């Protein structure tokens, strides 16, 4: 890993072009907004990528130089190329890249394939949401109070078709619903952080706590300092006997 | 779920036809051996399936009537049809079928796709293996002593590219290796049990404890008694407000 | 374990004697109400126990013949004898008894000592509660819909000072709070199920889903079918070498 | 938390005084050896403490200024004062101090009470041990190869009466035993790391990997950067309604 954490923020980036109220909230795209917050930290280097860029924004020279990939997609999940998803999956499993999936990315090919889930959940109208921290000692909860309020967010609700390895936040919604909404998955030698807020027509990515949580998440899932090779295959160790190493 | 647990045991079933020493150990195939043990229980109904059967042994009328799928594959993982793997994956995620993956199935399309892993591990020569129970209160460890010995098994060793939800057994190998070798994964509304013993040229599927563990595993991953619909999609709940139900 | 599951329901049993509105809801005590539901099942044998009984309701002949202990306490936690708590703790850790802790039992000596927690959480006025199932494949969620409503329950809210091994339910409260409120802990060779509903002045123990959840919980934490001795101490295995067993 | 991580290393410190072979390995005590390695890092401040020091080495001014407590005890577990154990437990649960327990500390009052376990395991003669990393992406495995060898360590073996939250290492022993031997527990808002190597008559605390693992462990369990107050009690939040905060 380089000295800086190299974060690539991938955005479907279509709502912002066609829907005036989204454009108003995020004139350069949600990825640009998130990126401008992350880039305030001297040890983070941000790259922006979008679906309609060449190679869908993720040519090999970008992907192979990404430590953490942040993903926002919604209506065009099916347009994302399978070969790119396969490259992302492999890079995460081999511990070379962490993944942060936001909001409607729960139904992206990337999330479904990397985590291993349908990504199914229930959803409904925009309403008041209160995010509760249920694991205050977790690094992703650093600096976050026991709860904070989002004036308007799209309802996402249980049942959410996952059992995460670490649960950090759970949301209360005005209409009587809840959702486990901040969570970490371990897959292979990689980590995935999913966080629910961020509907395109809501100002959540301007919320200070949401920004801090994404920042914390990026740092948490970044590749580990491996003391071993993570094999890309199933190596045969024969005829080596570990017990013979004692004589060395 | 029917009153009996409907177990389909899928086997690549090629080694047994071409390798005399395997044929000697498992004249009708490893799946038949495992099935004969399972079928001793009155509440289990066994179906055998093989790669070279029509529809690779898993036409819809079989798959849609399977509560638990047991999987053994080795050299022909790449021949398994992607559409069948996708059907298995969906059925497990929706909680309609449990999955038991044996031995070299760690590298099968089914295991890799359903669990979300490369399935990578290290391997080597056949040798003595001792299976240790590290979670004696787990239902899959029921009736199993703190350890038992397998005179000869293929070496499978760490690093194994998974972090399971429940770890039940860990193996000691003669040459100095260990492997977490009995484990459960929760994916969607389904469960997957992986168990390592069962190289084609080793008699492990005649070992009483191995048989009991597979039996326990089948019972553990069988579909749950759901009190709700597990959605096959992301339903919109609007305009329903849960809080309005209090007035009913 | 005997053929029947021997369940002892322990209740502080004081509110019911002194508070008319509690007496009205639970004339013979909450433990009697819970017991009458459990006893409908032919394979469950119920014993009732109360703080003011001789030996605080738990003489050795009761405790040593209990498969699952259900615990409800509130204002008299400090009166419970330390030697009885120590016996409960040991019995759970050795896998001889499961434990179900209800409502205000979160602050009991038993819960704090067996689980290892302060038991701290926030609380407030009685209000509407909606219980959400977040792990529908879990045996304790069997037969429970994705959510159900309790017209009036005491507010219990995060932060709750635990990280459970299995999370099954999470509650929504009218005033904007949530609580992870149905969960399992593994400690030693035993299991503990905590479930939050059941304030003395609320009718929750007459709710069909609450009753089903307690029933499911009792079955889930009952002692395992151990294939080994769970040692009460740290045995020296020398001079036995496990590798010598291959010659037997 | 201060800028430096304030680590107090507590040692029973008796074997070193009375057993010549231990004195030879650790002339100033095992705690001094571990401390000299930790103190090489500029951001770690080490304090040494021993059972026979005044206040058993842990007067309030020491304990209240400790970010991480490292614990080594063996024959004098019963001499440790219960009030000191209670203070340690509370400090860990409130997230003010992390805990690292070494070797025979598995049977200490501190480990048993803070983690909630009998601490039972099996043990035997000194022999060859191979430590395997089974979670290479974990921060405590940073810089550690897939395995390393210890020429001579006391046998510790399964069944070990715990189900950890995170498993990082598992040991292979010459006589055919294994042990899950590096693991993390979450309790309250605190973390506990247990690591098995370190018998008094073995040179393990001079092994570079053992030292690195202890260093990694100290950093992993150090108190979190909490964004909230972790309550020392069960606060009543009434009459505050979180939903009223939206109007602010």
Distance between B69 CA and the closest CA of chain C, angstroms:
17
* Interface contact B124-A237, CB threshold 8 A: yes
**C5-118+179-225 CATH pick, 3.40.50.880, 3.10.270.10, 3.40.50.300, 3.40.50.10300:** 3.40.50.880
Burial class (CB in 10 A: 0-12, 13-18, 19+), C186: buried
Inform me whether the C-beta atom of residue B151 falls under 8 Å from chain C C-beta atoms. yes
Using alpha carbons only, how large is chain B's radius of gyration in Å?
A: 19
Residue B3 has a pLDDT of: 87
Inter-chain CB pairs, B–D, below 8 Å: 54
Identity of the residue in D136, D139, D246 whose CB atom sits nearest the CB atom of A189: D136
Identity of the residue in D161, D234, D238 whose CB atom sits nearest the CB atom of C120: D234
Per-residue pLDDT reduced to its tens digit, D35-73: 999 999 999 999 999 999 999 999 999 999 999 999 999
Which percentage of chain B shows pLDDT scores above 70?
98
| Residues of chain C contacting residue B149, judged by C-beta atoms under 8 Å apart | 242, 245-246
Q: CA separation (Å) from C176 to A19, B164, B185, D242?
A: 32, 35, 34, 5
* Interface contact C178-A178, CB threshold 8 A: yes
Per-residue pLDDT reduced to its tens digit, D74-94: 999 999 999 999 999 999 999
Residue C174 has a pLDDT of: 97
Inform me whether the C-beta atom of residue C137 falls under 8 Å from chain B C-beta atoms. yes
pLDDT higher than threshold 60 for residue B2: no
Inform me whether the C-beta atom of residue B120 falls under 8 Å from chain D C-beta atoms. no
**Per-chain mean pLDDT for chain A:** 97
- The four Cα atoms D111, D114, D118, D124 give a dihedral, to 10 degrees, of -20
Chains that touch C (3 or more CB pairs under 8 A): A, B, D
Joined together, the tokens standing for residue B65 give 């009537």
Inform me whether the C-beta atom of residue B207 falls under 8 Å from chain C C-beta atoms. no
Q: CA separation (Å) from C193 to C99, C165, C214?
A: 6, 10, 9
Confidence of residue A1 (pLDDT cuts 50, 70, 90): very low
Residue C111 has a pLDDT of: 98
**Per-chain mean pLDDT for chain B:** 97
Joined together, the tokens standing for residue B245 give 């139900």
Inform me whether the C-beta atom of residue C160 falls under 8 Å from chain A C-beta atoms. yes
Inform me whether the C-beta atom of residue A156 falls under 8 Å from chain C C-beta atoms. no
Joined together, the tokens standing for residue C92 give 């759970």
pLDDT higher than threshold 70 for residue B1: no
Q: Are A140 and A220 in contact (CB under 8 A)?
A: yes
Can you spell out the DSSP letters for D125-140? EEEEEEEEES-TTSGG
Q: Are D221 and D190 in contact (CB under 8 A)?
A: yes
- Average pLDDT estimate for B29-34: 98
Distance between D77 CA and the closest CA of chain B, angstroms:
26
Q: CA separation (Å) from C56 to C17, C45, C82?
A: 17, 20, 11
Closest residue in chain C to residue B230, using alpha carbons only: C136
Residue D2 has a pLDDT of: 54
Residue B127 has a pLDDT of: 97
Q: Are C119 and C106 in contact (CB under 8 A)?
A: yes
Inform me whether the C-beta atom of residue C234 falls under 8 Å from chain D C-beta atoms. yes
Inform me whether the C-beta atom of residue A230 falls under 8 Å from chain B C-beta atoms. yes
Inter-chain CB pairs, B–C, below 8 Å: 91
Question: Quick check: helix, strand or coil at residue B164?
Answer: coil
* Interface contact A243-B175, CB threshold 8 A: yes
Cβ-based neighbours of C145, under 8 Å, separated by 6 or more: B227, B228, C133, C209
Q: What is d(CA C127, CA C150) in angstroms, rounded to the nearest whole number? A: 9
Best of A68, A151, A173, A227 to disrupt the D interface by mutation (most D CBs within 10 Å)? A227
Strands lying side by side in the sheet with A190-195: A44-50, A5-11, A68-72, A98-102, A190-195, A178-187, A166-173, A122-133, A147-157
- Average pLDDT estimate for D130-139: 98
Is the reported ipTM for this assembly greater than 0.90?
yes
Residue B72 has a pLDDT of: 98
Q: Model-level pTM?
A: 0.98
Closest residue in chain A to residue D241, using alpha carbons only: A130
The 8 Å CB, 24+ separation contacts for B59-67 are B60/B87, B62/B8, B63/B8, B63/B87, B63/B88, B63/B91, B63/B97, B64/B91, B65/B2, B65/B6, B66/B6, B66/B7, B66/B8, B66/B91, B66/B97, B67/B1, B67/B2, B67/B5, B67/B6, B67/B7, B67/B97, B67/B98, B67/B222, B67/B223
Residue D3 has a pLDDT of: 87
Best of C118, C134, C138, C146 to disrupt the A interface by mutation (most A CBs within 10 Å)? C134
- Average pLDDT estimate for A191-212: 98
- Average pLDDT estimate for A210-226: 97
* Interface contact C130-A180, CB threshold 8 A: no
| Residues of chain A contacting residue D190, judged by C-beta atoms under 8 Å apart | 137
Residue C1 has a pLDDT of: 46
* Interface contact D116-C121, CB threshold 8 A: no
- Average pLDDT estimate for D12-19: 96
Stated as kind and residue range, the H or E segment containing C165 is none
From first to last of its 248 residues, chain C has per-residue pLDDT tens of 458 999 999 999 999 999 999 999 999 999 999 999 999 999 999 999 999 999 999 999 999 999 999 999 999 999 999 999 999 999 999 999 999 999 999 999 999 999 999 999 999 999 999 999 999 999 999 999 999 999 999 999 999 999 999 999 999 999 999 999 999 999 999 999 999 999 999 999 999 999 999 999 999 999 999 999 999 999 999 999 999 998 65
Stated as kind and residue range, the H or E segment containing B85 is helix B82-93
Identity of the residue in B116, B176, B243 whose CB atom sits nearest the CB atom of A175: B243
Residue B248 has a pLDDT of: 60
Fold of A5-119+180-225: Rossmann fold (3.40.50)
Inform me whether the C-beta atom of residue C161 falls under 8 Å from chain A C-beta atoms. no
Which percentage of chain D shows pLDDT scores above 70?
98
Fold of B5-117+181-226: Rossmann fold (3.40.50)
Residue D248 has a pLDDT of: 59
Residue D1 has a pLDDT of: 46
Q: Are B166 and B184 in contact (CB under 8 A)?
A: yes
Confidence of residue A247 (pLDDT cuts 50, 70, 90): low
| Residues of chain D contacting residue C82, judged by C-beta atoms under 8 Å apart | none
Q: Which of residues 72 through 111 in chain A touch D, CB cutoff 8 A?
A: 95
pLDDT higher than threshold 90 for residue A248: no
Q: Which of residues 183 through 202 in chain C touch B, CB cutoff 8 A?
A: 186, 189-191
- Average pLDDT estimate for D117-134: 97
Instruction: Look up the CATH architecture of domain D5-118+181-226.
Output: 3-Layer(aba) Sandwich (3.40)
Residue D212 has a pLDDT of: 98
Considering Cα of D241, then D245, then D247, then D248, what sign does the dihedral take? positive
């Amino acid at each position: 890993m380089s000295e800086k954490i190299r974060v690539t923020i991938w955005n479907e980036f279509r709502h912002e072009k066609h829907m005036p109220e989204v454009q108003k909230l995020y004139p350069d795209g949600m990825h640009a907004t998130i990126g401008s917050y992350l880039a305030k930290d001297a040890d983070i280097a941000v790259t922006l990528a979008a679906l309609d860029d060449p190679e869908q924004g993720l040519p090999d020279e970008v992907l192979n130089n990404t430590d953490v990939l942040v993903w926002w997609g919604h209506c065009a999940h099916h347009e994302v190329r399978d070969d790119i998803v396969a490259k992302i999956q492999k890079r995460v499993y081999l511990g070379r890249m962490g993944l942060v999936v936001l909001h409607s990315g729960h139904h992206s090919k990337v999330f479904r394939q990397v985590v291993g889930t349908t990504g199914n959940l229930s959803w409904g109208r925009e309403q008041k949401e209160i995010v509760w921290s249920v694991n205050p000692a977790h690094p992703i909860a650093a600096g976050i109070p026991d709860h904070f309020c989002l004036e308007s967010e799209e309802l996402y609700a249980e049942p959410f078709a996952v059992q995460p390895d670490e649960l950090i936040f759970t949301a209360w919604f005005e209409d009587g619903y809840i959702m486990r909404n901040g969570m970490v998955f371990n897959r292979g030698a990689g980590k995935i952080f999913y966080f629910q807020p961020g509907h395109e027509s809501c100002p959540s990515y301007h919320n200070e706590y949401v920004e801090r949580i994404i920042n914390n998440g990026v740092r948490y899932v970044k590749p580990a300092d491996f003391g071993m090779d993570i094999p890309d295959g199933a190596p045969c160790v024969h005829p080596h006997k570990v017990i013979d190493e004692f004589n060395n």
